[in-house]
Amino acid sequence: MGSNSIFHHTISIMKKHFLTSIGALFLLVSAVISCTDHEVPIPEPTQLTASNLFSGLRAPIGMAKDNRGNLWISEIGTGKNDGAVVMISPDGTKTTFVSGFTSVMGPEGGAEGISHVMFHDAKLYILHGIDGKLFIADVSGFKTGDPERKMSDLIVHEYGQLIRKIKPTKDTNSNLYDMTVGPDHNIYMVDAGANAVFKRENSTGDISLFASLPEVGTGPIVDAVPTGIVFDGSKFLISTLSGGPFVKGSAKIFSVDMNGTVGVHSEKFTTLTHITLTANNKPLVIRFANFDKGFVPFSGAVLDENGKELLGGLMMPTDIKRTGDREFYLLSMPLGTVQKLTY
């Protein structure tokens, strides 16, 4: 075989091997993509297991997790103007971020004051229902052991008086309670006193009525009393406590679309105090307690959107947050604890 023939034969073999390698690589990449396209979906929880994470909080009401793994918790306090927001680091160290929020004793004997908190874009948003205010703080540089911030360091917006003037329902009260960020980057706040949802413009801070919630109840007509709000990718879902006498089965999960149209997502719940979403954007809610001449101790529960009990025997929970694909954190107001829920 001449040198030219050998050269061409060698080139032919090289091309064949190269094309074979390319073909094998293509099959491998296709297989990887195929596996990625068909990942096993995360199942919905059918039962939750609780473990204690932190204790020693003073009537915690709201909770948020930042991008560094810290928990930010609002404490109502003891009714002596000692409401606070504290940070719990991943190693379990508690640091007070700011204190001195209004905290007063309510007509039923418990302390009232601060509401829920939300972490968004390196800032902490803090609602105070009694004062009708939204506080905003840059928390990006706050670390474990840092000195407590002053109230004067916070940006504050007063909305309570304006809400009373708007009077979205028959009620003239206002109790801003929880919030979430919508797909338009504006903040949507539920008001447990006005029984309504308000939209806060991101660019100006101005608020406007977004939706009014109807009364609920099959017996006595009672207020909706919204307690939590999330956005599931297409609509807002809102948990409701219902007002006294806290008729069993009178609480609902309302839906509100981006046009402000209100519907009922699911119903026949009792005293819902908050709502979160699973990894599949399905709502989970928490029942504060059953009511029988008073709230029954350790009758709280985590429920799915159909009312199935996933974890019972809870002591008056006030907030639930998903912190992982199969992980949630739960607050108990009277016990002052944070629990981790898994499945």
Residue 180 lies in a domain: yes
pLDDT of residue 5 exceeding 60, the answer is no
Residue 120 lies in a domain: yes
Same domain, 5 and 26: yes
- 327 is written with which tokens? 């992980």
Average pLDDT (105-121) is 91
307, exposed or middle or buried, with CB in 10 Å at 0-12, 13-18, 19+? middle
Same domain, 301 and 200: yes
Confidence of residue 32 (pLDDT cuts 50, 70, 90): very low
Residues 6+ apart with CB under 8 A from 203: none
Same domain, 214 and 328: yes
49-54 and 114-120 strand pairing:
unpaired
Average pLDDT (28-43) is 59
Same domain, 151 and 233: yes
User: Tens of pLDDT along 145-194?
Assistant: 999 999 999 999 999 999 999 988 777 899 999 999 999 999 999 999 99
Same domain, 35 and 122: no
Same domain, 316 and 190: yes
Residue 113 lies in a domain: yes
Same domain, 21 and 57: no
Q: Which domain range does residue 11 map to?
A: 1-39
pLDDT of residue 2 exceeding 80, the answer is no
| The pLDDT value given to residue 316 | 98
* C-alpha span between 271 and 269 (Å, rounded): 7
pTM score, two decimals? Answer: 0.88
Same domain, 24 and 54: no
Same domain, 139 and 180: yes
Q: Coil, helix or strand for 160?
A: helix
Same domain, 13 and 142: no
Q: How many domains does the chain have?
A: 2
* C-alpha span between 257 and 263 (Å, rounded): 8
Same domain, 9 and 105: no
Q: Which CATH number characterizes residue 153's domain?
A: 2.120.10.30
Same domain, 84 and 161: yes
- 238 is written with which tokens? 């809102």
Residue 44 lies in a domain: no
pLDDT of residue 19 exceeding 50, the answer is no
Residue 144 lies in a domain: yes
Closest C-alpha among 210, 258, 262, 207 to residue 240: 262
46, exposed or middle or buried, with CB in 10 Å at 0-12, 13-18, 19+? exposed
* C-alpha span between 183 and 65 (Å, rounded): 20
Residue 294 lies in a domain: yes
